[in-house]
Amino acid sequence: MIYTITLNPSIDYSMTVKDMNVTKINRSEEELSSFGGKGINVSAMLGNLGIDSTALGFSGGYTGMEIERLCKRCGIACDFVKIREDSRINVKILSESECAINGKGPMIYLEEEEELLKKLSALSEKDMVILSGNAPESESGKLLENVMEAVSHTIFVADMDGVNLDLAIDKRPYLIKPNEYELAALFGKERFLEEREIIAAAANLRDEGVKNVLVSCGGSGAILAAEDGNFYKIKAPEVQVVNTVGAGDSLLAGFVAARERGKPFDFSLALAVASGSATAASSGIAEGEMVLSLLADM
Q: Over the stretch 61-91, which tens digit does the pLDDT of each residue have?
A: 999 999 999 999 999 999 999 999 999 999 9
* Amino acid letter, residue 74: C
If pLDDT is split at 50, 70 and 90, which confidence band does 42 have? very high
If pLDDT is split at 50, 70 and 90, which confidence band does 225 have? very high
Q: Is the pLDDT of residue 41 over 90?
A: yes
The active-site residue, picked from 161, 207, 249, 266, is: 249
Please tell me the predicted confidence (pLDDT) of residue 175.
Answer: 98
For every residue of the chain, DSSP letters joined together read -EEEEESS-EEEEEEEESS--TTS---EEEEEEEEE-HHHHHHHHHHHTT---EEEEEEEHHHHHHHHHHHHHTT-EE-PEEESSPPEEEEEEESSSEEEE----PPBPHHHHHHHHHHHHTS-TTSEEEEES----BSSS-HHHHHHHHTTTSEEEEE--HHHHHHHHHT--SEE--BHHHHHHHTT-S--SSHHHHHHHHHHHHHTT-SEEEEE-GGG-EEEE-TTS-EEEEPPPP---S--TTHHHHHHHHHHHHHHTT--HHHHHHHHHHHHHHHHTSSSSPPHHHHHHHHHT-
Q: What is the reported pTM?
A: 0.94
Which CATH code fits 177-298? 3.40.1190.20
**257 φψ region: left (φ > 0), alpha (ψ -120 to 50), beta (else):** alpha
- Tell me if 238 sits within 8 A of 262, measured CB to CB: no
Please state the rounded mean pLDDT for residues 234-240: 94
The percentage of the chain sitting over the pLDDT mark of 70, rounded to a whole number, equals 100
Please tell me the predicted confidence (pLDDT) of residue 297.
Answer: 87
Q: What are the φ/ψ torsions at residue 264 (nearest 5 degrees)?
A: -70, 165
Digit-coded pLDDT (tens) for 175-194: 999 999 999 999 999 889 88
Digit-coded pLDDT (tens) for 117-159: 999 999 999 999 999 998 999 999 999 999 999 999 999 999 9
Q: Is the pLDDT of residue 253 over 90?
A: yes
Q: CA-CA distances (angstroms) from residue 212 to 14, 84, 140, 179?
A: 36, 38, 31, 14
Q: Give the residue from 162, 215, 159, 149 showing the smallest Cα distance to 42.
A: 159
- Tell me if 278 sits within 8 A of 286, measured CB to CB: yes
Please tell me the predicted confidence (pLDDT) of residue 144.
Answer: 96
If pLDDT is split at 50, 70 and 90, which confidence band does 97 have? confident
Please tell me the predicted confidence (pLDDT) of residue 124.
Answer: 97
Residue 53: partners with Cβ closer than 8 Å, 6 or more residues away: 1, 2, 3, 4, 42, 43, 46, 47, 76, 77, 130
CATH architecture observed for domain 1-21+28-173: 3-Layer(aba) Sandwich (3.40)
If pLDDT is split at 50, 70 and 90, which confidence band does 111 have? very high
Region(s) of the chain under CATH 3.40.1190.20 = 1-21+28-173, 177-298
Please tell me the predicted confidence (pLDDT) of residue 135.
Answer: 94
Q: Is the pLDDT of residue 100 over 90?
A: no
Q: Is the pLDDT of residue 22 over 90?
A: no
Please tell me the predicted confidence (pLDDT) of residue 205.
Answer: 96
Per the annotation, the verdict on 249 as an active-site residue is yes
Please tell me the predicted confidence (pLDDT) of residue 243.
Answer: 83
Q: Is the pLDDT of residue 254 over 90?
A: yes
CA 233: distance to chain centroid?
21
